Amino acid sequence: MGLQPADWSVIILGRWNRAILTPNGIAKRLFKLDEAKQVLVAVPLDGVSPYMVRHPTQQIVVMTDETRLLIQVAKPDYETLGHAMTAGVNALTSLPETPVSAAGFNINFRSKEVTPHMASLLVSESEKSLVEAGFKPVARTLGRSLEHGAGRLNVTVAGGADGFGLTLNFHRGTEVPDELKQWLQTPVEHLEGTVKKVLDSFGLDIEEIRNDADAE
């Protein structure tokens, strides 16, 4: 079984003004919609958690609190990720005085099973010593932080009873909004090529997800 895309998102860390980023504010400032009533809003039942505002056509969902702006990619593909990154640029452009500290986009893959090859990626010499000492591993994680342009690419592979995961976090830390906008304007074609290089380096494949039309 190959990996499947899951949990893609764009995050901008900063002190966001939730009084401005209401559903109406998100519709106009981030989505650039003339009619705010077009968006779909999910209100939390606990009255504390942030509400979720969904774009009517682009499969992206925005949530914000006092420390971050989160744009979830409801359909984890590169076209939709591009829409989420554009919404992040719109947020930084329309609210230029917001104190910010970092921005990133996350491209993750999951598998419900851990194949022998996946398991081999997680075994290290230090673990062998621990096993010889009588310890039994129940989960394994391996991470690397790599230079990537003006920022970093944080790559993590993890495996356990719930399956295997590959996490790619493209991170840029800076308090300059224009630099974060440049980071979020990274072409998705470049991201796709970078992700492929990482997958090839690990010898991992992405499982094709067929829809009903393809199956006919």
Domain coordinates in residue numbering, the chain: 4-200
CA 187 to CA 107: how far, in whole Å?
Answer: 14
- Rounded to 10 degrees, what is the CA torsion of 170, 176, 179, 184? 50
Query: Which residues contact residue 157 at a Cβ distance below 8 angstroms, ignoring those fewer than 6 apart?
Result: 118, 121, 122, 141, 142, 143, 164, 165, 166, 167, 202
Given a cut of 90, whether residue 146 has pLDDT beyond it is: yes
From 47-51, 156-160, 182-186, the region with the lowest mean pLDDT:
47-51
**In the 8-state DSSP scheme, what is residue 37?**
G
pLDDT digits (tens, 9 = 90+) for 163-182: 999 999 999 999 999 999 99
Judged on CB neighbours under 10 Å (0-12, 13-18, 19+), 69 is buried
**What is the model's pTM?**
0.88
Q: Which has the closest alpha carbon to 151: 164, 132, 168?
A: 168
From 95-104, 110-119, 166-175, 178-187, the region with the lowest mean pLDDT:
110-119
- The H or E element that residue 121 is part of is helix 116-122
